[in-house]
Amino acid sequence: MSKISRKRPLEDEGADPYSSVLERYSRTMDLQDKIAEQYPETNDTEPMEVKKDVAPLPQPKLPRDKSLYSQEQKNKNLNWLSTPEYHSTTQAKSFKDFEPALDPVIISNLETKFGITSAFSVQINVIESLLKDINANKIDPTPFGDYLVNASTGSGKTLAYLIPIVQSLIGRVVPRLRCIILVPTKPLITQVYSNILQLTKGLDINALALRSDVGVKEEAKKLATTKPDIVVSTPGRLVEHLLNDMDLSQLRFLVVDEADRLLNQSFQNWCDTLIAKLEKDQKYGAGEDFYNSYTVKCSKLIFSATLTTDSEKLFHLKLFKPKLVVINNAEQLVNELYQIPPNLDEKYVRINEKLAFFKPMVLLRYLEQPEYSSHGLVFTKSNESAIRLARLLTLLSEKLGLGLDIMSVNYSLKTHERAKILKKFHEEGGILIATDLIARGMNIESIKFVLNYDLPLSTKEYIHRVGRTARANRHGTAITLCFGDGDFRWFKRLVYSGGVINRNGKDIEEVKVVRETDEKTDSDFVLELDKNVYNECLDELEKEIRNSK
């Protein structure tokens, strides 16, 4: 097969054979000029970008260690401490005149069960303010601020939080755990639980006290079957149920009563454990801003006669827009967080150290005076000393024919036995010997005087001791015995510690007795006959103790 040769035809036979080449060259040069105009020439000295096949992996944002949250930032969250609401202790108002109005059943129970028709200052200001917030919350579920209430002991704090909580639960359809009340001791559980039962008489509201008298599993069954609206507990017992997956999703109120003491306790890190469980069950942080979420959240109500300003302790509560309410005649807070009841008279007695051996006899000489012979509460340092002092005073009273009724409440007694003694003391009077733990939160309005036989260990304990009298706007007296200069120095440190106690313009009165070392101080209090009787009673008490072992 012959090869076919293909020859490009000439466009013009007579044309120059190189004209097409020159034409293409010309077009190429024109095109380069246009490219140069569109993309200006870059500096030859610039380094060329080198594309690599491997690029650095994107790194996640480093987590922030919450434990490193600075103290300065914590303090910034406590600015509300400088803007408290002050209210006079002398305010009074009939429960029938409250606005918003209280339920008629509550008003009736207050009159028949508690014997009161008018509210005290702390009750007026907390109940009305809280009820307004609760009612507004029905329309707008955005949480209202938490409450911190600083009021003296005996001012009616328990009813101040119980009344609005019970009022808000009236008419609830489905029983759920709506309120948890935390108190520091089992006797306080009994007291608060009793108040709830009296206040809710005739209302469809259930309450349960977690006393740790039975096992956690048995209590958990009670929680499941009774479905209480209100639970009263100590922090330690509550944590056990939280670890057993107690549901807090519907909790509306968390009350911390005697907050100063509870915040100093660390039962299984109760505060952090409780707040973490609350945030988990109520889905805090869900969405961009949980506070804008239309779900009712828990409000915290913190009550104390000695409200702490320790930012570290308050920070653990994770308070939201807290409102600080101070019930005090003077606008004092920062340096005077300890509140003395306005109708309390404080006294102290300096006694020569030589009389320390006859200390029970010195006490007896005060108790035989008409103004101190009944409705008195005597504090000792321990459970054992309370038992022995009560028995020794009983023996001395019988030997000397004084006819004093001496009794004691201690942890060797069963709950019903203590309740029986307290009821007798309230109704009939007498002298009650007790310790700080037993008497803390004791609400017996008939106590006329408190006597510190053994000195308290702190200013807080002193405040809570003397606050057992002069309750509910009644008058009362607090007396402290100081044996020797050492006791007196410690007493001054307790009661004049940096001016932190608000005494409503009053001062402590010294009861003058002979105490000079060069005088026969023992003859003023303890006669020779008394000494013999005292030694006989000591011997008898010693025999009783020996025989009981």
Same domain, 348 and 371: yes
**Tens digit of each residue's pLDDT (9 = 90 or more) over 55-80:** 667 766 665 554 444 444 544 456 66
For residues 302-307, average pLDDT: 82
Three-state secondary structure readout of 41-62:
CCCCCCCCCCCCCCCCCCCCCC
Q: Are residues 299 and 446 in the same domain?
A: no
Residue 42 structure tokens: 């870059």
Last residue of a domain, one of 295, 327, 359: 327
Alpha-carbon dihedral sign for residues 332, 334, 336, 341: positive
Same-domain status, 539 and 426: yes
Distance of CA 368 to the CA centre of its chain: 39
**pLDDT confidence band for 247 (50 / 70 / 90):** very high
Residues 393-397 have a mean pLDDT of 96
Which pLDDT does position 516 carry in this prediction? 45
As a whole number, mean pLDDT of residues 464-487 equals 92
Asked which of 292, 327, 362 is the last residue of a domain, the reply is 327
pLDDT at 141 > cutoff 50: yes
- The answer to whether position 135 is within a domain reads yes
| Cβ proximity of 173 and 224 under 8 Å | no
Q: Is residue 109 part of a domain?
A: yes
Question: Regarding predicted confidence, which is higher, 187 or 357?
Answer: 357
116 or 16: which leads in pLDDT: 116
Average the pLDDT over 524-544 and give the result: 83
Cβ neighbours of 90 (radius 10 Å) = 10
Nearest to 480 by CA among 489, 471, 542: 489
Q: Where are the beta strands (DSSP E) in 53-202?
A: 85-87, 93-94, 118-119, 147-150, 179-182
117, 93 Cβ separation under 8 angstroms: no
| Domain co-membership, 291 together with 434 | no
- Please provide the average confidence, as pLDDT, over all residues in the chain: 83
97 within domain boundaries: yes
Q: How many CA atoms lie within 13 A of 125 on its CB side?
A: 25
**143 vs 453: CA distance, rounded Å:** 48
User: How sure is the predictor about 3, in pLDDT bands with cuts at 50, 70 and 90?
Assistant: very low
- The confidence band for 40, taking pLDDT boundaries of 50, 70 and 90, is low
Specify the higher pLDDT residue, 160 or 438.
Answer: 160
Contact status, residue 471 vs residue 465, Cβ threshold 8 Å: no
Q: What is the mean pLDDT of residues 520-535?
A: 69
Q: Is residue 199 a contact partner of residue 162, using CB atoms and an 8 Å limit?
A: yes
Answer yes or no: do 382 and 322 share one domain.
no
Task: Name the pTM for this structure.
Answer: 0.68
Residue 9 has pLDDT above 60, yes or no: no
pLDDT in tens, 252-282: 999 999 888 888 877 778 999 999 999 999 8
Beta bridge mates, 73? none
pLDDT at 1: 46
Domain count, the chain: 2
Asked whether residue 350 falls in the same domain as residue 316, the answer is no
Q: Which domain holds residue 410?
A: 340-548
Tell me the C-alpha distance between 196 and 200, whole Å.
Answer: 6
- What pLDDT is recorded for position 517? 40
| In a shared domain, residues 407 and 364 | yes
Do 425 and 303 reside in the same domain of the chain?
no
Q: Indicate the residue among 327, 352, 381 that finishes a domain.
A: 327
How would residue 413 be classed by pLDDT, with cut points 50, 70 and 90? Answer: confident
Q: Is residue 67 part of a domain?
A: no
Residue 526 lies in a domain: yes
Q: What is the DSSP string of 446-463?
A: T--EEEESS--SSHHHHH
Helix (H) or strand (E) holding 478: strand 476-483
Query: For the chain, first and last CA: distance in Å?
Result: 138
Is residue 66, in this structure, part of any structural domain at all? Answer: no
Per-residue pLDDT band for 292 (boundaries 50, 70, 90) equals: very low
Same domain, 400 and 476: yes
Residues 161 and 259 in one domain: yes
Q: Provide the 8-state DSSP code for 357.
A: G
Residues 313 and 364 in one domain: no
Beta bridge partners of 119: 93
Give pLDDT, residue 152.
Answer: 79
Q: How confident is the model at residue 155 (pLDDT cuts 50, 70, 90)?
A: confident
For residues 397 and 435, membership in a common domain is answered with: yes
Residue 341 confidence class, pLDDT cut points 50, 70, 90: confident
Is 504 part of any domain?
yes
Burial class (CB in 10 A: 0-12, 13-18, 19+), 129: middle
Q: In which residue are the tokens 């304990």 written?
A: 461
Q: Is 51 within a domain?
A: no
Q: Which CATH number do you get for residue 136? A: 3.40.50.300
- From 23-27, 108-112, 353-357, 435-439, the region with the lowest mean pLDDT: 23-27
